[in-house]
Structure 1
Amino acid sequence: MILLLFILVLALLLISLYYYGYEIIAPPVIICAVYTFSIYAAMYNIESWHIKLSNITVLYIVVGLLSFCLSSFIVRTHYKNKPVPIKRAFVINITNQKTIILYLIIFICAYIYIQEVSHIVGGYGGDYETAMADFRSDFSYGDENLSFIANQSYKVLTVITFICLYIYCNNTIATGQWKKYIIWLVPVIILGYATIRSGSRAPLIQLFVMFIVFLLLFQQQYGKYKKKALLKYILYIVGFSILFLVMFSAIRYLVGRQNDSNIVDYISMYVGGSIQLFDLYLKHPNEAMNNNTEVFGALYNNLIKLGFIDDKELIMHKEFRYSNGILLGNVYTSFRAFHHDFGFTGIIIFQVIEGFFYSIYYEKMKRLKNKSGISATFILYGMLMMPLFEHAIQEQLFSNYLCLNTFILLFLTIIIIHYLKPKLYATKSF
């Protein structure tokens, strides 16, 4: 059955790619691509995990993806005859004074955050790897929390990094000079270091996703995206993805992940384990969590803390499961959350909503008239790509991103963009 699932999802991927005119970052292309990759990773472990997908698992995944794609195709049909205006390429220039102040803020925020994390981790004692593993466990599942100042510092650092990444991607696509604007990638390195020191890797994935999406969207906006170069784009993305996955695996010990698997087994488990886990969930649901809520978890948490609703049983961390004696983790694809709270109908409804949301947003971004130089809505779109790229691993859009924190990040983005007030210089096509 897993081979049938792979063929069906691959067919959906090819259909989506064709229908969207070979635009490889179109929402239905992305979601089908990540599921194709996840299913292939699961197939690699078909014997060691004893994978025997049920018919219902295949049905739910295929219908869910089909619901997303059909709603996307409707949006595409609506916008198909609306031309995408080619914008003249421009370079974003920030004054030296504002750049210096921006970097001072970056270093101060990073220092505050890293110092507090280091102080807490140091208090566990023992070797670094064990101390980091204990910190991660207490931070995720226990009562360990960072101070308000440290949390806000990390948010400011994150927003500034997103803006700098935006500037770098825009300027390199506008001019074709990849090295000239490398200074704008320094915040990426700083945020990456701060993230690793806190035992996390999710922001690294988000930065990588935003980097790819920004580059290709700017190419589309400036009329530099060549459909004939599709294979070249795919090879570049695959190449960068392999390098990223190697790095992702290599730093596992630095973030407290105590897993001794080789790199192929580790990555295939991280990427493909969710397919097998979703099947195990459907066969053996956790009865103890039947009355708890998975979707809208972060939003409910905000409302509870603000006193708008009474305490509610939330599932912030799903149960860990084994397959053939091998621990696969606790991620079950996005479909688990929808099914758990709303059943099979929920899978269809939420996938239709996501399909319309991402596809409309995507079409708007291609036609965005950005007169200020740095667009907050563009950056927000890049942020919201993370749930789409991780759809095959776990649900994030409704469970994690629909919350107060996302609006705070957007608000900070608008404030910092307003402060920078960049100057724009038109360039000639390269």
Structure 2
Amino acid sequence: MPLLIGIIVLSCFESLAFLIGRGGYEGASGLDYLAIYIGAPIKNLDTFLQGNIYVNNIFESQTFINLMNGIGPKFHLIQHSIMLDLPFQRVGIYSLGNVYTTFYAFIYDFGYNGVWILVLIMAIISQMVYEAVRSSYKVTSPAYSSLVYSYIATALVMSFFSNRFYEQIFNLSFIKIIIIWMLFKLIFIKVVFDRKEIK
């Protein structure tokens, strides 16, 4: 079954490329479009690494952009909203877009030393939440860790294309989501299951 799904996706990739704005290359096959889509982040990162790398101000961070835009103005850490610096790249006639892998933001902000530190933090957080999910056995009442890990897992998958992990997790919106989950569990799930146990 996975093989069949893979064949269908590959055969449709040329059409999908037009939908995401990567189409229009004469003589390009679905496999060519797939190669562009998968190879673009690595090539774009390579192009960035060949230029001059300057370590930036932590308060104007690309890595923690959503956190800084959330709390920065309140604590006067930044004067204006930070914008992502992700220039679009081309190689010949091919547009590679502006995806650079998660390492781009780390190197952009902290240089090469930042890579191993930030990857280590990602790994520790992901592993701790994963272990919390494995140790929670209640089927009737979903653990927060399961919800948090589902959020983290998508960010980890997207790390090949962008800095989704730190953009999503170190974000005021994520804290609000957790508070909403806690209230939902407290009000709806706990009350409902407590009533069932009483009956």
> What residue in structure 1 maps to residue 51 of structure 2?
284
Alpha-carbon distance between aligned partners in 1 of 2:133 and 2:11, rounded to the nearest angstrom:
31
The 1:265/1:342 distance shift into structure 2, 3 A limit, reads: same
**For 1:310-389, what aligned pairs fall within 5 Å after superposition?**
310-311=78-79, 314-370=82-138, 372-389=140-157
**How does the TM-score come out when normalised to structure 2?**
0.75
Alpha-carbon distance between aligned partners in 1 of 2:153 and 2:7, rounded to the nearest angstrom:
19
- Which protein, 1 or 2, shows the higher relative CO under an 8 Å CA cutoff with sep ≥ 6? 1
Question: Deviation of residue 372 (structure 1)?
Answer: 4.4
Q: Which amino acid letter does the alignment assign opposite residue 104 of structure 2? A: R
Alpha-carbon distance between aligned partners in 2 of 1:347 and 1:282, rounded to the nearest angstrom:
13
Question: 1:290·1:340 contact (CA, 8 Å) conserved in 2?
Answer: yes
Question: 1:338·1:346 contact (CA, 8 Å) conserved in 2?
Answer: yes
Question: Deviation of residue 241 (structure 1)?
Answer: 6.0
Alpha-carbon distance between aligned partners in 1 of 2:162 and 2:120, rounded to the nearest angstrom:
17
Question: 2:106·2:118 contact (CA, 8 Å) conserved in 1?
Answer: yes
> What residue in structure 1 maps to residue 197 of structure 2?
none
Alpha-carbon distance between aligned partners in 2 of 1:281 and 1:395, rounded to the nearest angstrom:
15
**For 1:31-110, what aligned pairs fall within 5 Å after superposition?**
none
Q: Which runs of 5+ in 1 are unaligned?
A: 1-234, 424-430
Alpha-carbon distance between aligned partners in 2 of 1:388 and 1:257, rounded to the nearest angstrom:
24
Question: 1:275·1:332 contact (CA, 8 Å) conserved in 2?
Answer: yes
Counterpart selection for 2:24 from 241, 248, 260: 260
User: 1:331 aligns to what SS in structure 2?
Assistant: coil
Could you report, residue by residue, the CA deviation over 1:353-409 in whole angstroms, capped at 9, with x for unpaired residues? 112221222222112133642223201111111121122211111134311111222
User: 1:328 aligns to what SS in structure 2?
Assistant: strand
The 1:272/1:325 distance shift into structure 2, 3 A limit, reads: same
Alpha-carbon distance between aligned partners in 1 of 2:16 and 2:101, rounded to the nearest angstrom:
24
Alpha-carbon distance between aligned partners in 2 of 1:245 and 1:380, rounded to the nearest angstrom:
32
**How does the TM-score come out when normalised to structure 1?**
0.38
Q: Which runs of 5+ in 2 are unaligned?
A: 194-199
Question: Deviation of residue 342 (structure 1)?
Answer: 0.9
Question: 2:133·2:143 contact (CA, 8 Å) conserved in 1?
Answer: no
User: 1:384 aligns to what SS in structure 2?
Assistant: helix
> What residue in structure 2 maps to residue 175 of structure 1?
none
User: 2:137 aligns to what SS in structure 1?
Assistant: coil
Question: 1:334·1:394 contact (CA, 8 Å) conserved in 2?
Answer: yes
Task: Report the identity percentage.
Answer: 20
Could you report, residue by residue, the CA deviation over 1:171-214 in whole angstroms, capped at 9, with x for unpaired residues? xxxxxxxxxxxxxxxxxxxxxxxxxxxxxxxxxxxxxxxxxxxx
Alpha-carbon distance between aligned partners in 1 of 2:7 and 2:149, rounded to the nearest angstrom:
24
Question: Deviation of residue 247 (structure 1)?
Answer: 7.1
Question: Deviation of residue 290 (structure 1)?
Answer: 5.6
Question: 1:296·1:400 contact (CA, 8 Å) conserved in 2?
Answer: no
User: 2:102 aligns to what SS in structure 1?
Assistant: helix
User: 2:160 aligns to what SS in structure 1?
Assistant: coil
Question: 1:376·1:413 contact (CA, 8 Å) conserved in 2?
Answer: yes
Query: Would you say 1:415 and 2:183 are equivalent positions?
Result: yes
Q: Which amino acid letter does the alignment assign opposite residue 161 of structure 2? A: I
Alpha-carbon distance between aligned partners in 2 of 1:240 and 1:252, rounded to the nearest angstrom:
17
What is the RMSD computed on CA atoms of the aligned residues?
Answer: 3.4
User: 1:322 aligns to what SS in structure 2?
Assistant: strand
> What residue in structure 2 maps to residue 297 of structure 1?
65
> What residue in structure 1 maps to residue 166 of structure 2?
398
Q: Which amino acid letter does the alignment assign opposite residue 277 of structure 1? A: N
Question: 1:298·1:401 contact (CA, 8 Å) conserved in 2?
Answer: no
Query: Would you say 1:272 and 2:36 are equivalent positions?
Result: no
Q: Which amino acid letter does the alignment assign opposite residue 43 of structure 2? A: Q
Question: 2:63·2:167 contact (CA, 8 Å) conserved in 1?
Answer: yes
Question: 1:293·1:313 contact (CA, 8 Å) conserved in 2?
Answer: no
Question: 1:333·1:393 contact (CA, 8 Å) conserved in 2?
Answer: yes
Question: Deviation of residue 296 (structure 1)?
Answer: 0.3
The 1:258/1:328 distance shift into structure 2, 3 A limit, reads: closer
Q: Name segments (4+ residues, structure 1) moved above 6 Å.
A: 244-249
The 1:352/1:323 distance shift into structure 2, 3 A limit, reads: same
